[in-house]
Amino acid sequence: MSTVKIKEIVEGMKAKVSELRSLLHGFALSDNNGRPIGVWYSILEARTFLRMKDDGTVRIDTPDLYTYESRDGDSIRDRHLGPGAPHR
């Protein structure tokens, strides 16, 4: 993946989380031996798992499709701004 495409993806993520008045966080990803293999950018609620496969590849599952919704149905946006807050 090109650096231009990565920048485009991250900028899109920033725009999405800015609507929630939240922030992206970057996390270094390492293999089983502590060697760096990448960076994960997400809101804190978007968690994933990293699995090293026997063939040397890495499996990273996407976060839950309902990442922006809490278990009780309130959106992360509502938790930050209050229920019923007007959209920009």
For the stretch 9-54, pLDDT in tens is 889 888 888 887 888 888 999 988 899 999 888 888 888 888 999 9
What whole-number distance in Å separates Cα of residue 77 and Cα of residue 81?
6
Q: How far apart are CA 37 and CA 49, in angstroms?
A: 14
Burial (Cβ within 10 Å: 0-12, 13-18, ≥19) of residue 78: middle
Give a yes or no: residue 29 inside a domain.
yes
Structural domain includes residue 77? yes
Whether residue 86 lies inside any domain: the answer is no
Question: Would 87 be classed as within a structural domain?
Answer: no
Provide the residue range defining the domain that includes 31.
Answer: 3-81
Q: Give pTM, 2 decimals.
A: 0.59
Instruction: Please tell me the chain's helix, strand, coil percentages from 3-state DSSP, rounded to the nearest 5.
Output: 25, 25, 50
Which pLDDT belongs to residue 28? 93
Domain presence at residue 57: yes
Q: Tell me whether residue 33 is in a domain.
A: yes
Looking at the structure of the chain, the number of domains it has is 1
Confirm whether 11 is domain-assigned: yes
Contact between residue 42 and residue 24 where contact means Cβ atoms under 8 Å apart: yes
